[in-house]
Amino acid sequence: MGDSANVPGVFFADFGPAPPEITPEGYHEVELNKTKWILPQWYNNLRPLGEGAYGVVCTAEYEPTGDRVAIKKFFRPFQSTIHAKRTYRELKLLRTLQHDNVLEMIDVFTPDPEASSLNNVYFVSILTGSDLQNILKIQTLTDEQIQLLIYQVLRGLKYIHSAGIIHRDLKPSNIAVNERCEVKILDFGLARAQDTEMTGYVATRWYRAPEIMLNWMHYTQTDIDQLQRIMSVVGTPKEDFWSKIQSEEARNYIKNRPPIARQNFAALFPTANPVAVELLEMMLVLDPDRRISVSSALRHDYLKEYSVPTDEPVATEAVTTDRAEEQATTIDDWRELIWNEVRLFQTSARRLSFVSCTDNDEEPMKI
């Protein structure tokens, strides 16, 4: 069960065999890649799409419109309170956040009849095409494409941050890109309300923000290797930053190492657009207080071709932790919360609001 098995206050369910999945009226059962799917009858023609640590995803046809959608089935969301909390957070945020560059949830359902027996949770989103990780494996992006992609990621982050949310696992595989070069930020299972203390081990380790790693460093070989790689590019932090490092081990490690000079980014990326290099230098700063903000990055000259300040919406209110969420301690508590979240979305105006995109007059950029 990994690190979470040793976390105080984390409860694990004694599952034994997987609970039986009952096919209720109006649902049908499909076997796909050794996974049993129990879905409403209007989702058909399933095809496998992907699999991760916390769920498996397929595509399906939504019969009333003929559109294909993506359906995620959570892997044993009640294996532990940590898994249950992650599932709840993702559903809550996807229900609450509404932005062009954030994944849109259009349905959520369970075949289980009541909260006490809840074990199977599915959510449906628009089909987003590929992700940036796969795209980068098969093609080299033009400078124009990079500008457009970065602008949309920052535009989405501006909205997410305005809602008081930190994503905590932003990486190429969590950035969906369709053939029109439109971006959607995915996977909010590790996201949480902004806090001064952010757990270091939760995010994919190669993409952890350096300040998170420095504040939770436990002097493992992995931590040391990551810190060396970071400093080999951005240099040793200045002394005024040392006091901001909460981990004494990390602080002592930096103090006792020979100073490393920050690399010349123009020499490091000799073929890149110099304006892009300038923005990158402003982003890759160890001290977050000196790092360029999302709002300032959106106004940088590198993105001016696509910058539309009047079309960068922010959240009308922050997403907060409610009292029931704060008091949830057991798996059954989280079952009740997730059950309520499913029911809340099913009665909302957003449910199945998906409609096919129509062609714009302007020719879209292809990727």
Looking at the annotation, which residues are catalytic? 187
User: Which is nearest to 198 in space by CA: 213, 185, 188, 187?
Assistant: 213
Locus of tokens 């949770």 = 121
Give me the DSSP letters along 27-41: EEEEEETTEEEEEET
73 marked ligand binding residue:
yes
Locus of tokens 């007059």 = 361
First and final C-alpha spacing in the chain: 39
Q: How many CA atoms lie within 13 A of 239 on its CB side?
A: 1
The residues, ordered by sequence, that sit 6+ positions from 159 with a Cβ below 8 Å of its Cβ are: 97, 99, 101, 102, 312, 313, 314, 315
Q: What is the DSSP letter of 94?
A: H
Are 94 and 103 contacting, i.e. CB atoms less than 8 angstroms apart? yes
Annotated binding site: 73
Annotated binding site for ATP: 73
